[in-house]
Structure 1
Amino acid sequence: MTATIIDGKKVANDLHEEIRAKAEKLTASHGVVPGLAVILVGEDPASAVYVRNKVLATAACGIKSFEFKLPAETSEAEVLGLVEKLNADPEVHGILVQLPLPKQIDSDKVLGLIDPKKDADGFHPVNVGLLSVGLPGFVPCTPRGSAILIEKVLPDLSGKTAVVVGRSNIVGKPMIQLLLQKNATVTCAHSRTADLPAVCRTADVLVAAVGRPEMIKGDWIKPGAIVIDVGINRVLKPDGKGKLVGDVAFDEAKEVAGAITPVPGGVGPMTIACLMLNTLDSAYRSVGAEI
């Protein structure tokens, strides 16, 4: 059995079109153009690529982009001041601070200052709390995108067993909450889980978000399972050139799984699409409407 490849790029492109249509509807009905502000401090190459991709996505989705590229030596006070300014700007509906920040800046302090109503990344403690009790708020983009991909394959998770490998605040923990909301029976596994391969083999839905290249092998996967690979790791090929791989050994896993996301082209595009979706959602809420 060879798994169905879950095309995250196609799903994301379809979502972009839906967002653009709804953004145009909001502008026509209320004169509001959704706006996303992105703050990049320093010149980290990976961060610069991510920011560029996010800016390209805003254009595709009909969202206005506000970019703030600050030098690496920028003080914490300057970044906090910029966040406060954006909080007060009615044209900005989503605020994203690209991580990591330089060492002189406290990331928690910066993220905590973002208005929860403009928290496009879904990292503010208020939104974390809302998610944990099942109330409307902003969900971190990668888990939200992963949940959409799972739903494309299996809309009803009632009674299914899900295993999330990874317990980060950005992916693992919110992913668990989203799966619980879908009535799955969820296990949180991590690097200290006893007999991790056996735990993974119980999963009808396996989400890998541990940050270790190809750690999860094909024989860890239950036949027919849905595998969502969140990992993005750069490794060297035998010829010395770099390539991107996930946390799952894809070539092995696709022979066992029922459906699987590739790396790249799986969860990555959905993360950016859901950032746009959160921004659109915020813009609608700003006029007392829902998407």
Structure 2
Amino acid sequence: MNHDMTSPTGAKNVVSTHSVFGAPCWVSLTSRDLKATEEFYSAVLGWQWRPARLGDRFRIALAGGAPVAGIAAVAAMWQMAVAWTPYFAVPSANEAASRVQERGGTVAVGPISLPPGRAALLADREGATFGVWEGELFSDWDTWRNARPAFIRLHTRDAFDSAIFYGEIFDWASERPGCCEVEYNGDEVILRSQGDVVARIESGALEAAPDPTIRPHWQVHFAVDDVPACVRAAELHGGSVLSEDEEEAVLRDADGAQFTVTARHRGL
């Protein structure tokens, strides 16, 4: 399991997970080499960087000046997996962790205090890793949502069963004002927040597959203007291509972390 604990904050914020909850609010990468990671994602995704409040091994990635992701170069030091992890906004990290355990999931780290909030690293019943964040978010929530990853997609054994698991953790499709809406579409479940598609859950993963790309996992998609250009840049900077077409490509960075680039105009 990836134990990345990079906080989704770094500046004064006013929006809280007590009012915005249940939706993906951040993505974070555990890597081995900070400089190499910065160079790779600068070349592939055009990101800039600023320091994070957690120390010298942490960075905040910026796209057009907006924070979009966190990097924690602690994989080797803390013997952690190199991987991207999505975080979901929750009113209470303690309550979310308890709900995960009650429903057969796993708590790997936390909840721990990371001012101005609390975080935990978790896994669902199928082993897919995700995080939760309680506390302050970016002051301009809409700007982050527009600059955020295109969406996240859960590849799981049974989309319907997983939607029930996560729905009970995050109060999806509940009576609470502002909760995420859930749409069932055959073997796929679509999650919407304030009308926007923010996640998809699809069936077909194999829990015991030897190939980790087939096992249950959350896949992070980044919106880009030119998929082939991202592919070329990834290959030139030590990455690899797992699959590719004009609209979307699944890539691995130089450390082995898997992610997807999706054409911005494609929609969700």
| TM-score normalised over the length of structure 1 | 0.27
Task: Answer 1 or 2: higher relative contact order, Cα 8 Å, separation at least 6.
Answer: 1
For the pair shown, which has the larger CA radius of gyration, 1 or 2? 1
More strand by share: 2
Q: Which structure carries more helix by proportion?
A: 1
